[in-house]
Amino acid sequence: MKFLPLLPAATLALSATSMAHIITFDAFSTPAVNYTDFVPVLYQGFEFDGSVRTMDQNSDTVDFPSGNRALKGLDAAGYIVLRSLNGPFIFNRAEIAGAHVTGGYGPQADAVGFVAYRNGVIVAQQEVPIGAHDFAFHWYAGVTDQPIDTLEIYSRGEGQFANNVWLDALDVRPVPEPETWALLAVGAVGLLARRGRAMVKA
């Protein structure tokens, strides 16, 4: 049996699954239902809670650096909740603005919060201040480098528009499945065995 071809194949598979992935929301659409009928949205390998709305970039909005559409949670804290459909992932960072209209309107959020879960258990959580009257999008780093399967993004503040945080992009990285690691190990063992036989023959 020839194991050697498995090594480059496994290496390529591992490389492909471990690359960072920037998710934008240009093709994201919410179902045409009442705001009280929250239907989950499947998008880019994630299930998003239905309690989100979208805003397309236009002449009244701030610049959307990564895409042309942003997401916002509808409830009082502006929660955006996403669950992976393809196994654990690493949350690297999120591109967020405190308000979507040029110059803002009303009090914006004071902070954006992240809560990371794995198997229903909180792995990490953190709140990051948003600069006063800073209505541009900025990247906010992830709260943990551990694999997670669910991420909550929310806002905190006072006033009518305290839930005004908009998500323009997510930077995530898939975690290789155990089968990929096993394939790589088999390939490595085969390569070592072949080299060993070559050395004996020499």
> Which domain CATH number covers 128?
2.60.120
Tell me whether residue 100 is exposed, middle or buried, using C-beta atoms within 10 angstroms of its C-beta: 0 to 12, 13 to 18, 19 or more. buried
Task: Verify that 132 and 64 share a domain, yes or no.
Answer: yes
Task: Verify that 7 and 33 share a domain, yes or no.
Answer: no
Task: Verify that 97 and 148 share a domain, yes or no.
Answer: yes
Task: Verify that 62 and 154 share a domain, yes or no.
Answer: yes
Tell me whether residue 35 is exposed, middle or buried, using C-beta atoms within 10 angstroms of its C-beta: 0 to 12, 13 to 18, 19 or more. exposed
**Using CA atoms, how far apart are residues 65 and 188, in angstroms rounded to an integer?**
42
* E strand or H helix that includes residue 9: helix 6-17
Q: Which residue has the tokens 């990564």?
A: 66
Strand, coil or helix: what is 194? helix
Task: Verify that 171 and 181 share a domain, yes or no.
Answer: no
Task: Verify that 151 and 123 share a domain, yes or no.
Answer: yes
Task: Verify that 159 and 89 share a domain, yes or no.
Answer: yes
Domain of 118? 20-175
pLDDT tens across the length of the chain (202 residues): 444 454 454 444 444 445 678 999 999 987 655 555 678 899 999 999 878 888 898 877 888 999 999 998 876 668 899 999 999 999 999 999 877 665 555 556 788 999 999 999 999 999 998 876 677 899 999 899 999 999 999 988 776 666 678 899 999 999 986 544 444 445 545 555 566 565 556 6
Task: Verify that 188 and 124 share a domain, yes or no.
Answer: no
Number of structural domains the chain divides into? 2
Task: Verify that 67 and 111 share a domain, yes or no.
Answer: yes
